[in-house]
Structure 1
């Protein structure tokens, strides 16, 4: 593991410096293609992608990474967090501010130093971690600055994974599969959602320790019985009874690369959710078959909706069909499989496709696939079947 602060244990960035330089170079090519003079990156996932540092100190004010052709990238950060940024990032050029109200002035000075005060500069206006007040503070300092929306720019580059990134994601998926198998093997009458979460976490910890302890599990959506009607529900002391459904959405993560799955089960029989799951399986199979280089995100989404339309139950699906994954998969502006989306799939992209359907009485139930786009189509990364598990 590379590190800039060798005196501090367990710091450094997970990839070789050359990997971050490659990413920065490709982002600069995208900056040129967008006819921008520079890019101000503020989304935490994008900061981590380009530098190694996760941007976690930026809750106070933005920690922008300023990327300019022909110059090394510059971080503008809070002085308090300087040591952490130096320890966890590959960026050498760091400028600090102290108080929140200093951000606009200091960041504007860096842009002015780069000769950008009247240029076209891209900002991630549609991502988290950049407030309208932040943009206003900069504009007040640089009234001739041409602020352009570059929300999709970094994500379009990050959507295509390198071999090193895919190694991390495959390792994370092996742990996700461990969590799913533990969920299935531990499902019994009377077990609580929290007990299930604890069993899964213990299994992940045991497996991860064999692999150097670099993989962790994110908080899971584990819901039993009537509680499967809740979206994004956290586990509680609720116990599962005979002839009830069980819902799981879980993802293991390695160095921020999360790989998730939706898997469901029934303890005994439950006709309503069993029927719903059967339809979700058909939709997932259609989505996977539609994934290939050159296909549009909208066309993949449409393949799944066509199955729903033929079933006469298209109202059961109330969300998008999937989204790109990698570092911080909940970033706004990432590629999305939704109606009319024009993004073109490329070899090396990874996609999570959770098909969660809603029954007439409100149960949320289904299955999913996490895939890699290859020249031959979709490679399913998980080794646990997408079919319904019956305990």
Structure 2
């Protein structure tokens, strides 16, 4: 059976060693990973199966993690992970959406098998895929174990990407660029909003002549007309009027690594005030990017951006950036550092952020952004779409 690994096995070993080192520091014997990005990071596992319970177990005294999932997804685990077959476990279909059986009881038996009866067990309490019921079943099935919150243990390790990961994210950036260009070419008065969305999805997946893309973590934010002041609006089937603003955030996704990109497109002639706003937004964005240097903190980068904005008598309430990397629904952003006031995370080469300083005012919104990797000298843009207002 052909393997679909996108990294050398040694890279997975390095990741696993880093996770185990942090587990040991926290006194965690066994780590239960419910978040698909973390499962992918440590094993390579990739399948659209996370709507049913699945888990990766990392034990300090075991050489390899153990993947546990639905029986029909075992073949995907064999194809997409480096794990030995004895470390790929599957529960019968009788556990799927059962009102009687719980897959977490099945998982608890495997935790016992690896010595977890009385262990200190870390779980992802803040994860999207670790439910209250999952926790209740596991704690009932393992009454002598000590459960501790290990949310973001792997996330903070994932924050610094390897050169191989950054290489894949460069390709994801190219996918974002071609999708954005498709929209710029497509947008015109009279075209339906839903047809713009369809063009985005087509280009995201068909990609470039050299490589295709994956499904994104979340739908594009297509915020048009009055909805341009809403950061996360959905599209309609209405045609574009002769004069309107299109705020669009989309992404390129390659081997589950996601790079985000947002631009504002004006149909018709923008007002002088809106043109001025776009220039202010770009100026502040560029100042923020120029502040990116290893050794500086996220808060210092945020401060540089806000000082540039303040020179024009403007301010922004929300954060201006977040890290991206491996992404699965429902969100592309990693839940660790933020480029915002008070975040003292120190920038290191290999970190990847989406600087998203969108401005949503009372009656107007504009979104011009930049994804970048931190380098030893500053930042490397991961997308090449010009940082400017586009006018059609």
Q: Quick one: distance in 2 between partners of 1:204 and 1:349? A: 24
- Structure 1 spans left out of the alignment, 5+ residues: none
TM-score normalised by structure 1 residue count: 0.87
Corresponding residue number in structure 2 for 1:324: 323
> Is the contact between residue 189 and residue 243 of structure 2 (CA under 8 Å) also seen in structure 1?
no
Three-state SS of the structure 1 residue aligned to 2:89 is strand
Q: Quick one: distance in 2 between partners of 1:253 and 1:58? A: 18
Q: Which moved more, 1:166-175 or 1:216-225?
A: 216-225
- How far does residue 212 in structure 1 lie from its aligned partner after superposition? 4.0
Q: Quick one: distance in 2 between partners of 1:195 and 1:96? A: 41
Is residue 67 of structure 1 aligned with residue 58 of structure 2? yes
Q: Root-mean-square deviation (CA), in Å? A: 2.5
Change in CA separation of 1:55 and 1:44 when aligned onto 2, cut-off 3 Å:
farther
Corresponding residue number in structure 2 for 1:333: 335
TM-score normalised by structure 2 residue count: 0.87
Three-state SS of the structure 2 residue aligned to 1:367 is coil
> Is the contact between residue 245 and residue 270 of structure 1 (CA under 8 Å) also seen in structure 2?
no
Q: What whole-Å deviation, never above 9, does each CA across 1:6-44 have from its counterpart, x for those lacking one? A: 4xxxx6333333332222222222222333223111101
Q: Quick one: distance in 1 between partners of 2:129 and 2:58? A: 17
Q: What whole-Å deviation, never above 9, does each CA across 1:197-243 have from its counterpart, x for those lacking one? A: 344455556653x2143566674223332232333233333333334
Corresponding residue number in structure 2 for 1:96: 90
Q: Quick one: distance in 1 between partners of 2:186 and 2:47? A: 37
Corresponding residue number in structure 2 for 1:382: 383
Q: What does 1:91-130 correspond to in 2, within 5 Å?
A: 91-92=83-84, 93-98=87-92, 99=95, 101-130=101-130
Q: Quick one: distance in 1 between partners of 2:136 and 2:202? A: 47
Corresponding residue number in structure 1 for 2:31: 39
Q: Which moved more, 1:253-262 or 1:198-207?
A: 198-207
> Is the contact between residue 43 and residue 331 of structure 1 (CA under 8 Å) also seen in structure 2?
no
Q: Quick one: distance in 1 between partners of 2:296 and 2:117? A: 40
Q: Quick one: distance in 2 between partners of 1:264 and 1:376? A: 29
Q: Quick one: distance in 2 between partners of 1:333 and 1:146? A: 25
> Is the contact between residue 276 and residue 366 of structure 1 (CA under 8 Å) also seen in structure 2?
no
> Is the contact between residue 127 and residue 333 of structure 1 (CA under 8 Å) also seen in structure 2?
no
Among 69, 75, 80, the alignment partner of 1:77 is 69
> Is the contact between residue 40 and residue 123 of structure 1 (CA under 8 Å) also seen in structure 2?
yes
Corresponding residue number in structure 2 for 1:343: 345
Q: What whole-Å deviation, never above 9, does each CA across 1:237-290 have from its counterpart, x for those lacking one? A: 333333422211111111111111111122211345434333322331232122
> Is the contact between residue 169 and residue 259 of structure 1 (CA under 8 Å) also seen in structure 2?
yes
Q: How many residues of Structure 1 are paired with residues of Structure 2 in the alignment?
A: 378
Is residue 23 of structure 1 aligned with residue 15 of structure 2? yes
Three-state SS of the structure 1 residue aligned to 2:357 is strand
- Structure 2 spans left out of the alignment, 5+ residues: none
> Is the contact between residue 223 and residue 231 of structure 2 (CA under 8 Å) also seen in structure 1?
no
Corresponding residue number in structure 2 for 1:251: 251
Q: Quick one: distance in 1 between partners of 2:366 and 2:81? A: 41
Q: Quick one: distance in 2 between partners of 1:262 and 1:179? A: 11
Q: Quick one: distance in 2 between partners of 1:337 and 1:243? A: 34
> Is the contact between residue 291 and residue 377 of structure 1 (CA under 8 Å) also seen in structure 2?
yes
Q: Quick one: distance in 2 between partners of 1:122 and 1:303? A: 38
Three-state SS of the structure 2 residue aligned to 1:371 is strand
Corresponding residue number in structure 1 for 2:297: 296
Three-state SS of the structure 2 residue aligned to 1:306 is helix
Q: Quick one: distance in 1 between partners of 2:383 and 2:80? A: 30
> Is the contact between residue 245 and residue 273 of structure 1 (CA under 8 Å) also seen in structure 2?
no
Corresponding residue number in structure 1 for 2:159: 159
Q: Quick one: distance in 2 between partners of 1:49 and 1:20? A: 8
Is residue 234 of structure 1 aligned with residue 226 of structure 2? no
